[in-house]
Amino acid sequence: MDTIEQIQAYKLSEEEEKKEILRHYRALLRVLKQKLKPGDKMLLRRAFEMSAEAHKTMRRKSGEPYILHPLAVARICAEEIGLGVRSSICALLHDTVEDTDVTLEDIQREFGSEISRIVDGLTKIANVMDANSSQQAENFKKILLTLTDDPRVILIKLADRLHNMRTMDHMKREKQLKISSETVYVYAPLAHRMGLYNIKTEMEDLAMKYMEPDTYRYIAQKLQDTKRERTRYINDFIRPLKEKLEKTGLVFEIYGRPKSIHSIWNKIKKKGVAFEEVYDLFAIRIIVDSIQEKEKEDCWKVYSIITDEYNPSPERLRDWLSNPKSNGYEALHTTVMGPQGKWVEVQIRTKRMNEIAEKGLAAHWKYKEGKDDESRFDQWFHQIREALANQESSSLDFLQDFKTSFLAEEIYVYTPKGDIKMLPVGATALDFAFSVHTAVGSKCIGAKVNHKLVPISYVLKSGDQIEIITSAKQKPNSEWLNFVVTSKAKTKIKDSLKEEKRQIAEDGKYILQRKLDGMNAAYNQQNLEEIATFYKINSSLDLLYDIAVKKVDLKELKDFTVHGDKLIAPRPAKAPEEKTEFNELRPSSKKDNELIIFGESSDRIMYTLANCCKPIPGDDVFGFITAGEGLKIHRTNCPNAARLLANYGHRVVKTKWAKNKEISFLTGLKIIGLDDVGVIHKITNLISGELRVNISAMTIEAKDGIFEGNVKVFVHDKDELDNLVEALLKLPGIERVDRYDTE
């Protein structure tokens, strides 16, 4: 009887699932309604059926049918990115070639070459990005090759990643960490660069939810708690503006929106303030309905009305009307002093600008039709193609360069003739010189910025006018690599240094050839490698260079034996090596090394705590297998975490703390407060007396009525540290208590 009921229940749920899938499909159709041309509906239906059929036996980690994922990605493409029918078809099919029996040929036959090409690009990305490979950076390079081919590939991939981030609750912790860091490291900056601000913001917030859950919950709760008073404040702020704007006859919308949790957290960290002191928890947005010819005029009109009502902060005006960002973003931002002495950011845009701000690249192309000027987006793609053409650089260098050159915020500077050039934030006079021409960069000895002489390492600011000074005697040197940030400058400097090295190495080649002739050994690659290995030098070019500059003198060659014309290096006598398998490593005797359980093999692995973030028990941590120092434990909010997890996800080991009350860990607290009589006594009395926590060191400095104390204490775990911080904050006159990592 039970079995029949179970079968009926299963059938019912199967029926319900079918209804659910159809509901999602119809929702996608509704979003695309305006864009459907004759025949589109049939193609879309065919793609949906093909995908549903291919994925019919597959389920997501949450247990729901897999087809709901491609449907959700297609809907994000259409609704949140503003892509059309063809992109939605590609989104529906994006996992079929990789995960099912459907082939690219099937897709080409059914939907034509354009769609099959995009699906092929998405498959390549899927293969490279989600493999557990150390080739993360190499893969990223491949993704960018696809991007410059057809940017829709990356937009669909961003939609795919966003949906995965939204539905990650059922995944294992280490997978959540790996995907989140990869998202923060690569995808969120890419979304930003594509002009998809909402998606970038949501990705950062979701990544933070998994990487720093406590902080995320704390800020989310605070935002919830202060929602009513924020709404009241926004309404008070908007009321007088609304009245004035209505009198002008402009058609506009005005509303407030909260800042993202991630950006509030960045403010708290950067400015070193408490949540209550972050002044711009929200921004006011004014969207004007203007015809394109009057857009600038109307935006400045609105600006004038706002600054009549509220005093602006002069250094916080951002004019992206005159100089849009290279991702197409146009707006006017100002920060004004609102009621109750609070700073408020106001963003002014037109409807067209708002669509570009929210839909980024897709909207940008919609408005570009019919214009023949090369857009800044196209220039950006052109620069990426240039960087990709240089296959010399190692992939990790490439990823780092890509982040600083192409994903950073940008500044605009002027040439002596008044032309505009966009450069990433942090770019120097030398970066500018290389952006003009390789020959100008290589010969650059200085620059004039706003007619004043500056060194080549001078960091440029938006609006600078720059003239490069060159000399025929100048040539690149390795010091230059320390301050340039653009990919082009780095590549060209490295090329030049390599060329110079080759020329010097010619002398080394001549010296070595004579030596080998005297020994009756051949000058060939095999012998060169044998000598290089003996001297622990990476390549034969480095070996010849070191010989030429007398870093290596070849007297040890007399100990080599010659077999035919082949050299054999003497083998050093070595102490017998102990071979230990990773899982058989014993915990070391260091007391801070016996505290952690890793997955299943709790007590058999040796590890050290990373110096960059000094974890203590109770911190959210992960293990990372380093190349030379075994396993290291990092906090998930360590400054290096995103880079390690994004680039070397395969080396991450699941980690959790064991309960152990015998061992203490040294950590530091920075205490700031009012310099009052007996304040030191109160602090020490609380720490040592009441809470019985051992103090290792303490320094207090007082200046102009404010004291700053640094206390190093031994605690057993994070709970004990949290209790200590809470108790200190309750003392009268104590303003802030922050943890810092001890040396």
What are the catalytic residues?
A: 98-99
CA angle (64 as vertex; 58, 67 as ends), nearest 5 = 55
State phi, psi for 301 to the nearest 5 degrees.
-65, -45
For residue 633, give the nearest of 642, 625, 643, 623 by alpha carbon: 623
- How far, rounded to the nearest angstrom, does the alpha carbon of residue 653 sit from its chain's CA centroid? 22
Lay out the sheet containing 466-470: strands in order across.
452-454, 444-449, 466-470
Residues 483 and 430 sit within 8 Å (Cβ to Cβ): yes
Quickly tell me which residue has 């493999």 as its tokens: 131
Torsion angle in degrees (nearest 10) through CA of 446, 447, 453, 459: -100
What is the C-alpha to C-alpha distance for residues 295 and 200, in angstroms, rounded to an integer? 26
Residues 204 and 211 sit within 8 Å (Cβ to Cβ): no
DSSP state of 379: H
User: How many CA atoms does the CB half-sphere of 93 hold within 13 Å?
Assistant: 32
What is the C-alpha to C-alpha distance for residues 356 and 326, in angstroms, rounded to an integer? 12
For residue 339, give the nearest of 222, 225, 240, 244 by alpha carbon: 240
What is the C-alpha to C-alpha distance for residues 232 and 11, in angstroms, rounded to an integer? 51
Q: Is the dihedral of CA 537, 541, 543, 545 positive or negative?
A: negative
What is the C-alpha to C-alpha distance for residues 398 and 437, in angstroms, rounded to an integer? 21
Two structure tokens written together for 130? 């989600």
Q: Which amino acid is at 511?
A: I
DSSP state of 20: H
What is the C-alpha to C-alpha distance for residues 586 and 582, in angstroms, rounded to an integer? 9
Helix (H, G, I), strand (E, B) or coil at 602: helix
What is the C-alpha to C-alpha distance for residues 645 and 565, in angstroms, rounded to an integer? 48
Quickly tell me which residue has 């597959």 as its tokens: 58
Two structure tokens written together for 394? 């190692």
Across the strands, what pairs with 703?
A: 706
Residues 592 and 665 sit within 8 Å (Cβ to Cβ): yes
Q: Is the dihedral of CA 288, 291, 295, 298 positive or negative?
A: negative
Name the H helices within 65-151: 68-79, 85-93, 96-99, 104-111, 113-129, 136-149
* Cβ atoms within 10 Å, residue 468: 22
Query: 443 vs 391, 439, 471, 487, CA distance in Å?
Result: 24, 6, 5, 18
Q: Is the dihedral of CA 483, 488, 492, 494 positive or negative?
A: positive
- How far, rounded to the nearest angstrom, does the alpha carbon of residue 496 sit from its chain's CA centroid? 30
Helix (H, G, I), strand (E, B) or coil at 452: strand
